[in-house]
Amino acid sequence: MTPALDRLRDAGFELIEDWARHPSLVSNLIREYRDRVDVVIIGGGDGTISQAADGLVEAGIPFGILPLGTANDLARTLNLPNDLLASAEVIIQGHHKRIDLGWLNGTHFFNVASMGLTTAVTRRMSREGKSRWGILAYLFAAVQVVARARPFTVDINNGTETFRARSIQVSVGNGRYYGGGMTIDENAQIDDGLLNLYSLEISRWWQIIPLLPALWRGKLSGSKNARTLQGTQFEIMPHKGRAKTIMADGEASGFSPARFRIVPKALSVFVPAPLADALVSKTI
């Protein structure tokens, strides 16, 4: 990361470098420096950046990203380059865009929050495996856990109606990409003022196989084994069962019941110049 920091200094940035001992402390670090800086620059992956969300909201200043993670889904949504020097140039150019945040039980997230299958996948992945295999680590972990997945029953409320679902995974997305490049919904944008929800409602593990292409591209709408909803708020409540662990941007973020809402135009982030006026993302 040193060449990227040197490039920022060459461009006139006076940098105050500091490191959080743990991702959960990133927001506290931002709060500590909020009155001394004009811009926050975060070097890290989706989990680290997500842990910074609460602090960024309180600071109310623009932030830039130097992507250092395995998946870098937020960077992908924002069309940021993975190359650190190129990402530094984006910050230097000075174009920024206001984006939405998701809100979950009192904390904020950028990409997606899930319960069910994703929790088991995340727990299966080791730091060593992510470093060695990169995005493929997500696939390896998913193959190992999907056959053991058991459906659970939840009630989903969108503010006007309540739906009962027998699901192996419920995901609520604010951004576009998650899980190493999967798409929450083909029409999702991180500045559209909407949350996108899907529920995988299968009774046998092999039923997920024909859903995989649609799951990757965000085209689950219309599938008989998936429910998709769009709105500004959701509540997901366990039905006669144990509370489910919720993962937000790859990090454990509490338990159900889960209350979600959209926070429109919550933050200002540096993006490539063509995206300063309108965010445009391509489905892989």
Q: What's the pLDDT tens digit per position in 30-45?
A: 999 999 999 999 999 9
Instruction: State the Rg of the chain over Cα.
Output: 19
Which tens digit of pLDDT belongs to each residue from 49-104?
999 999 999 999 999 999 998 889 999 999 999 999 999 999 999 999 999 999 99
Going by pLDDT thresholds of 50, 70 and 90, the confidence category of residue 22 is confident
Going by pLDDT thresholds of 50, 70 and 90, the confidence category of residue 136 is very low
The answer to whether the CB of 190 falls within 8 A of the CB of 167 is: no
| pLDDT higher at 282 or 247 | 247
Position 121 pLDDT exceeds 80: no
Helix then strand then coil, in percent of the chain rounded to 5, is 30, 30, 35
Going by pLDDT thresholds of 50, 70 and 90, the confidence category of residue 241 is confident
| Domains of the chain from N-terminus onward | 2-100+265-274 (3.40.50.10330), 107-264 (2.60.200.40)
Q: Rounded mean pLDDT of 185-201?
A: 96
The answer to whether the CB of 141 falls within 8 A of the CB of 125 is: yes
| pLDDT higher at 87 or 134 | 87
Q: Rounded mean pLDDT of 163-169?
A: 93
Q: Considering the chain, what is the average pLDDT of its residues?
A: 87
Q: Which residues contact 220 (CB under 8 A, 6 or more apart)?
A: 185, 198, 211, 214, 226, 228
CA-based torsion, 53, 59, 60, 64: positive or negative = negative
Going by pLDDT thresholds of 50, 70 and 90, the confidence category of residue 123 is low
Going by pLDDT thresholds of 50, 70 and 90, the confidence category of residue 150 is confident
pLDDT value at position 133? 43
Please give the Cα distance from 179 to 164 (Å, whole number).
26
